[in-house]
């Protein structure tokens, strides 16, 4: 997804005062969260929580939702969290040619990186040509920049110090939104790593800016810069003194000097520490809502309701039939045959009681989800408009399985054609209780149709490694929302995309795999997405993405579950909150201020 915004980080996630001395920082690195809060009386500071460590400090290589990039990086354009309109960021203006194939961005005068070095058109050209479009760099950004049936990439060239021209081989409807939202990278800090290789012949860039790098060495153009990272504890940011944005009176933004990002895996611990006043905001889970709503006045915070989340929650099947370079199948061939049987997947969809999941797991604070596209998007195809859905009907599921050649033994256990008992493992991350509870309910639901599903609960970084290595069977997870335009999920749906997890193709930089094939319906989705970006008429694009949603509903590589309502609790001492369903509470972080601290 594009638009790696600070508020996306904050919702699961903020820079220490410039006046603090090195000795103070060393002391703070061992502080408790309550001690951090005591510092707020001396500096303008916010403290937030996130359930996971950042996976990398190298933005193009990031595959995790939980990152630092919304704070430290910036794109050419920004997205207004209220209107969804594009606004200037590093680029002060842009011009689209009449043929819709060229966009010229003009950078602001006097831009600087967080280390004080000039930011120019050379950095923009380097970012695209040397990094994102480099065939030796595996990044999901590549997928959404592919254009046309041949998957061509845009060409990027420098016109002068401040102007850069992007050219595409054919009209590409979301190009301005995507090209504007991608983080620009510092040529002076990364060029050497792009131009040199290690002893194995890999670009040094691929091992540059890992989380073992001194955070002060990471260079960005965002509103903040990192000054400290303690694994499993916290990330500390300070205001970037070279950030480009100023208010109408010429005052430097952002106003808030310091952000502390506490790493706390447990939802329960996050809740406890928010209630004690240690954090300034909390992404409110459904099971927490009633308690926090009762304490809203005493706790001096406001709970904002953004409606259904823009992302997705789903059960997915590993449909890969490929083998590794030792000829070992990624998925047990017996289970692979089950998963690749369409009727089996559709029967599973009928066996999951999503209404009960909404009422029990999400306390009624959610909506049953049927589509990968956000229900508030103009491209959403609703069941009322003809989208295929799967009502809870375990008897129908059993009937479908029998019709596909499965059978039941005397104990009611489901067996396949060769008398193998149907049993598999459901992978789920530990940091989010609702996902674990959802996976547990799914296992219970499946037991009613004779399937044994074993729930494997591990931390999110382990989940990522398993997904990337194709070492999984069934996964209960989701994708974060980032745009109302369906093409923002192209890296998920493109058959060779970096996030096409249910049938992952060979990816650059990994050991060769054998026997990978895309199905006909996956290739049809490729075609629809290519047609969708060439079409500039909005109503015709809606028809195209409606066909895409029907294919997903029919083929069920994902079984969509429940989209919880998005609640954010934010301390009342934070001024100028402009909450929206699209942007959340912190889309305008640069113009927020912190009022007087008061005990709760």
- Span 180-228, pLDDT tens digits: 889 999 999 999 999 999 988 889 999 999 999 999 999 999 999 999 9
Does residue 108 have a pLDDT over 90? yes
For 275-301, give one letter per residue: b (16+ CB within 10 A) or e: bebbbbbbbbbbbbbeebeebeeebeb
For 182-205, give one letter per residue: b (16+ CB within 10 A) or e: bbbbbbebbbebbeeeeeeeebeb
Say which DSSP state 127 is in: I
Task: Write out the E strands in 480-528.
Answer: none
What is the pLDDT at residue 215? 97
Token pair listed for 198: 């290690």
Instruction: Provide the 10 A C-beta neighbour count for residue 387.
Output: 17
Instruction: Provide the 10 A C-beta neighbour count for residue 353.
Output: 19
Distance CA 85, CA 106 (A): 18
Whether the CB-CB separation of 521 and 555 falls below 8 Å is answered with yes
Find the range with the poorest average confidence among 48-57, 371-380, 478-487: 478-487
Q: In what order do the strands lie in the sheet with 474-479?
A: 452-458, 423-429, 474-479, 312-317, 558-560
Find the range with the poorest average confidence among 42-46, 162-166, 418-422, 461-465: 42-46
Q: In what order do the strands lie in the sheet with 91-96?
A: 91-96, 102-107, 163-167, 155-158
pLDDT band with cut points at 50, 70 and 90 for residue 393: very high
Whether the CB-CB separation of 487 and 533 falls below 8 Å is answered with yes
What is the pLDDT at residue 144? 77
In the chain, CATH 3.40.190.10 covers 6-73+198-308+565-594
Distance CA 490, CA 141 (A): 10
What is the pLDDT at residue 17? 24
pLDDT band with cut points at 50, 70 and 90 for residue 30: very low
Predicted TM-score of the model (pTM): 0.73
Does residue 8 have a pLDDT over 50? no
In the chain, CATH 3.10.105.10 covers 312-564
Does residue 447 have a pLDDT over 90? yes
pLDDT band with cut points at 50, 70 and 90 for residue 483: low
pLDDT tens, position by position, 274-328 = 999 999 999 998 889 999 999 999 999 999 998 888 888 999 999 999 999 899 9
Whether the CB-CB separation of 575 and 256 falls below 8 Å is answered with no
Whether the CB-CB separation of 10 and 281 falls below 8 Å is answered with yes
Whether the CB-CB separation of 424 and 335 falls below 8 Å is answered with yes
pLDDT band with cut points at 50, 70 and 90 for residue 11: very low
Determine how β-strand 407-408 pairs with β-strand 414-415: antiparallel
What is the pLDDT at residue 478? 85
Determine how β-strand 163-167 pairs with β-strand 155-158: antiparallel
What is the pLDDT at residue 221? 98
φ, ψ for residue 491, nearest 5 deg: -65, -15
Instruction: Provide the 10 A C-beta neighbour count for residue 419.
Output: 8
Which has the higher per-residue pLDDT, 326 or 35?
Answer: 326
Does residue 382 have a pLDDT over 80? yes
Terminal C-alpha separation, the chain: 38
Q: Under CATH, what is the fold of the domain 6-73+198-308+565-594?
A: D-Maltodextrin-Binding Protein; domain 2 (3.40.190)
State the chain's mean pLDDT as an integer.
89
pLDDT tens, position by position, 506-525 = 988 788 899 999 999 999 99
The H or E element containing residue 465 is helix 460-468
Q: Under CATH, what is the fold of the domain 312-564?
A: Dipeptide-binding Protein; domain 3 (3.10.105)
pLDDT tens, position by position, 156-175 = 999 999 999 999 988 888 88
pLDDT band with cut points at 50, 70 and 90 for residue 432: confident
Does residue 116 have a pLDDT over 60? yes
Check whether the bond before 254 is cis (ω within 30° of 0).
Answer: yes
Does residue 469 have a pLDDT over 90? yes
What is the pLDDT at residue 419? 97
Instruction: Provide the 10 A C-beta neighbour count for residue 431.
Output: 23
Specify burial of residue 125 (Cβ count, 10 A radius: 0-12, 13-18, 19+): middle
Does residue 28 have a pLDDT over 80? no
Which has the higher per-residue pLDDT, 4 or 320?
Answer: 320
**Phi-psi category of 467—alpha, beta or left, where left has phi over 0 and alpha has psi -120 to 50?**
alpha
Token pair listed for 337: 């045959």
Token pair listed for 268: 């329960």
Which residues are 370's β-sheet partners?
none
Distance CA 518, CA 323 (A): 14
What is the pLDDT at residue 134? 95
pLDDT band with cut points at 50, 70 and 90 for residue 481: low
Determine how β-strand 452-458 pairs with β-strand 423-429: parallel
Task: Write out the E strands in 67-212.
Answer: 77-79, 86-88, 91-96, 102-107, 155-158, 163-167
Q: The dihedral of CA 446, 447, 453, 457: what is its sign? A: positive
Percent of the chain at pLDDT exceeding 90:
72
Whether the CB-CB separation of 451 and 422 falls below 8 Å is answered with yes
Whether the CB-CB separation of 390 and 349 falls below 8 Å is answered with yes
Distance CA 464, CA 64 (A): 8
Contacts for 26 with CB less than 8 Å, ≥ 6 apart:
none
Q: Pick from 311, 353, 295, 360: which is nearest to 566 by CA? A: 311
Q: Residue 198, SS3?
A: coil
pLDDT tens, position by position, 61-85 = 998 878 999 999 999 999 888 887 8
Half-sphere exposure of 117 (CA within 13 A, CB side): 12
What is the pLDDT at residue 557? 97
Task: Write out the E strands in 22-99.
Answer: 45-50, 77-79, 86-88, 91-96
Find the range with the poorest average confidence among 3-7, 377-381, 397-401, 551-555: 3-7
Distance CA 104, CA 97 (A): 8
What is the pLDDT at residue 42? 59
Contacts for 263 with CB less than 8 Å, ≥ 6 apart:
49, 50, 51, 52, 53, 231, 232, 233, 234, 235
């Amino acid at each position: 997804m594009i638009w790696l915004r600070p508020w996306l980080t904050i919702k699961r996630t903020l820079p220490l005062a410039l006046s603090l001395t090195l000795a103070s920082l060393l002391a703070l690195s061992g502080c408790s969260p309550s001690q951090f809060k005591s510092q707020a009386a001396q500096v303008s500071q916010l403290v937030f929580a996130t359930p996971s460590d950042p996976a990398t400090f190298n933005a193009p290589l990031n595959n995790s939702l939980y990152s630092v990039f919304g704070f430290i990086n910036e794109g050419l354009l920004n997205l207004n969290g209220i209107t969804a309109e594009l606004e200037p960021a590093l680029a002060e203006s842009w011009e689209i040619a009449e043929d819709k194939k060229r966009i010229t961005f003009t950078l602001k005068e006097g831009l600087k990186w967080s280390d004080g070095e000039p930011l120019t058109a050379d950095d923009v050209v380097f970012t695209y040509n040397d990094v994102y479009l480099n065939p030796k760099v595996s990044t999901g950004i590549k997928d959404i920049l592919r254009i046309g049936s041949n998957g061509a990439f845009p060409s990027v060239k420098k016109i002068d110090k401040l102007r850069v021209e992007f050219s595409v081989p054919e009209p590409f409807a979301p190009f301005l939104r995507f090209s504007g939202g991608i983080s620009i990278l510092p040529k002076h800090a990364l060029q050497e790593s792009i131009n040199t290789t290690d002893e194995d012949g890999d670009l040094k860039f691929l091992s540059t800016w890992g989380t073992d790098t001194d955070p002060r060495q990471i260079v960005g153009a965002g509103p903040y810069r990192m000054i400290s990272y303690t694994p499993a504890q916290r990330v500390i940011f300070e205001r970037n003194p070279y950030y480009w944005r100023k208010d109408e009176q010429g005052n430097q933004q952002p106003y808030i000097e310091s952000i502390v990002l506490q790493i706390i895996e447990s939802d329960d611990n996050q809740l406890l520490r928010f209630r004690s006043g240690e954090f300034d905001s909390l992404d409110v889970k459904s099971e927490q809502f009633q308690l926090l709503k009762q304490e809203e006045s005493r706790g001096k915070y406001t709970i904002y309701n953004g409606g259904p989340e823009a992302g997705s929650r789903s059960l997915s099947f590993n449909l890969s039939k490929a083998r590794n370079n030792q000829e070992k199948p990624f998925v047990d061939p017996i289970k692979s045959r089950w998963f690749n049987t369409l009727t089996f997947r559709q029967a599973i969809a009928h066996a999951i009681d999503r209404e009960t999941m909404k009422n029990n797991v999400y306390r009624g604070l959610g909506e049953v989800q049927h589509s990968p596209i956000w229900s508030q998007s103009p491209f959403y195809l609703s069941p009322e408009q003809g989208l295929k859905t799967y009502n809870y009907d375990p008897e129908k599921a059993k009937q479908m399985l029998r019709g596909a050649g499965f059978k039941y033994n005397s104990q009611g256990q489901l067996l396949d054609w060769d008398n193998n008992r149907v049993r598999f493992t459901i992978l789920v991350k530990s940091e989010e209780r609702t996902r674990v509870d959802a996976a547990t309910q799914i296992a219970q639901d499946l037991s009613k149709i004779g399937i044994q599903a074993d729930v494997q609960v591990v931390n999110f970084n382990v989940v990522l490694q398993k997904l990337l290595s194709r070492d999984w069977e069934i996964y209960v997870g989701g994708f974060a929302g980032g745009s109302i335009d369906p093409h923002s999920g192209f890296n998920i749906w493109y058959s060779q995309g970096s996030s096409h997890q249910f049938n992952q193709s060979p990816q650059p930089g990994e050991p060769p795999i054998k026997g990978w094939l895309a199905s006909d319906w996956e290739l049809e989705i490729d075609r629809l997405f290519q047609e969708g970006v060439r079409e500039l008429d909005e109503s015709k694009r809606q028809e195209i993405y409606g066909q895409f949603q029907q294919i997903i509903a029919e083929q069920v590589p994902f079984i969509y579950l429940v989209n919880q309502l998005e609640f954010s609790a934010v301390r009342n001492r934070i001024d100028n909150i402009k909450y929206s369903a699209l942007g959340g509470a912190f889309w305008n972080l640069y113009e927020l201020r912190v009022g007087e601290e008061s005990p709760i």
